[in-house]
Amino acid sequence: QVLIKLSAASVSPVETYIRSGSYARLPELPFTPGNYGAGIIHAIGDEVTKHKVGDHVYTLSTLTGSYAEYTVCEEDNVFLLHSSLGFSEGANVGITYFTAYRALCHRLGAKPGETVLVHGASGGVGTAAVQIARAYGMHVIGTAGSSKGEELVRQAGAHHVFNHRELNYTQGILEATDGQGPDVILEMLANVNLAKDLDLVSNGGRIGVIGSRGSIEINPRLTMAKECSIVGVMLLKVNKDELKEMSAAMHAGMEAGWLRPSDCPGKPCTNQ
């Protein structure tokens, strides 16, 4: 195990649901939330071989929570932070980029030259997905719900950006794909958009559900007519070999400069 002195921690949507008491599985109290952070290794266990004291690292999971000054992690869930990124940026790598990579490369098998729609691209996972897809040679379409969000998606590297609050934005997506529809769709809010995704996706296309806050009625015949697929994405299902692949891909992205976490405003973690 590894003891890390944290300099920054990020907040995932699941953690907000836990704090509000609305999550399906609530932890026993007392409880320290958080899995994603970045800092400096303070101490290591006798059997740790991948890290050393003083390493700048980020986490994908913790044993004791990341809303704290120090956290304990299994060494397989700790990764070297490239010198090009600060701690606040590093704290945002785990949940966002690993989830986006899991969706694009593991679950959906996206390939260079394919068209990818990131439906809800202005959030953390969305901008990460845009950056990865662009870096891996895909044609990227992103949506956002505000002018500020649209600009974030453009800066992340999307070739086309649409506002999903506009009435006929799906027609614009079809026109951008010459009427064929995207080969791959990453869906952040399936309970709102999944029926639209089925209308949009290309023949033989794939839809990855990354987020959903409820149920939705769809027509399964659309999957038959297009021979398209709908798959779920859950980062917790990753195995050790996949995790090793993902961390290597993220480090390569840091070195190449295309992995650029959004500049999120930070707040001090002080006792209230």
- Do 204 and 131 lie in one domain? The reply is yes
pLDDT in tens, 4-14: 999 999 988 88
CATH code for the domain in which residue 68 is found: 3.90.180.10
- Do 128 and 187 lie in one domain? The reply is yes
Residue 119 counted as domain residue: yes
Residue 209 counted as domain residue: yes
DSSP 103: I
Asked whether the predicted pLDDT for residue 267 surpasses 80, the reply is no
- Do 140 and 222 lie in one domain? The reply is yes
- Do 146 and 229 lie in one domain? The reply is yes
pLDDT in tens, 215-231: 999 999 999 999 999 99
**Domain termination site, one of 49, 81, 113:** 81
Residue 266 counted as domain residue: no
Give me the mean pLDDT over the 133-144 stretch: 98
Question: How far is the C-alpha of 193 from the C-alpha of 94, rounded, in Å?
Answer: 26
Whole-structure pTM value: 0.93
Give bridge partners of residue 80 from the DSSP assignment: 57
- Do 100 and 226 lie in one domain? The reply is yes
- Residues 6 or more apart in contact with residue 109 via CB below 8 angstroms: 206
Residue 86 counted as domain residue: no
Residue 257 counted as domain residue: no
- Do 109 and 222 lie in one domain? The reply is yes
Residue 268 counted as domain residue: no
pLDDT at 272: 44
pLDDT at 263: 65
Range of the domain at 59: 2-81
Confidence tier at 64 by pLDDT (50, 70, 90)? very high
pLDDT in tens, 14-37: 888 888 888 878 888 899 999 999
Question: How far is the C-alpha of 45 from the C-alpha of 248, rounded, in Å?
Answer: 23
Residue 99 counted as domain residue: yes
- Do 100 and 230 lie in one domain? The reply is yes
Asked whether the predicted pLDDT for residue 266 surpasses 90, the reply is no
Q: Which two tokens stand for residue 18?
A: 């836990």
pLDDT in tens, 150-169: 999 999 999 999 999 999 99
- Do 165 and 220 lie in one domain? The reply is yes
Question: Among 255, 249, 211, which residue's Cα sits nearest to residue 105?
Answer: 249
Instruction: Quote the distance between the C-alpha of residue 239 and its chain's center.
Output: 17
Residue 61 counted as domain residue: yes
Confidence tier at 255 by pLDDT (50, 70, 90)? very high
CATH code for the domain in which residue 161 is found: 3.40.50.720
State whether residue 151 is helix, strand or coil. Answer: helix
Tell me the average pLDDT of the chain. Answer: 94
pLDDT in tens, 98-117: 999 999 999 999 999 999 99
How many domains does the chain fold into?
Answer: 2
Question: How far is the C-alpha of 85 from the C-alpha of 254, rounded, in Å?
Answer: 8
Question: For residue 230, what is the enclosing H or E element?
Answer: strand 229-232
State whether residue 172 is helix, strand or coil. Answer: helix
- Do 121 and 226 lie in one domain? The reply is yes
Give me the mean pLDDT over the 61-69 stretch: 95
The residue that leads in pLDDT, 27 or 201, is: 201
- Do 145 and 192 lie in one domain? The reply is yes
- Do 118 and 194 lie in one domain? The reply is yes
Give me the mean pLDDT over the 172-196 stretch: 97
- Do 137 and 229 lie in one domain? The reply is yes
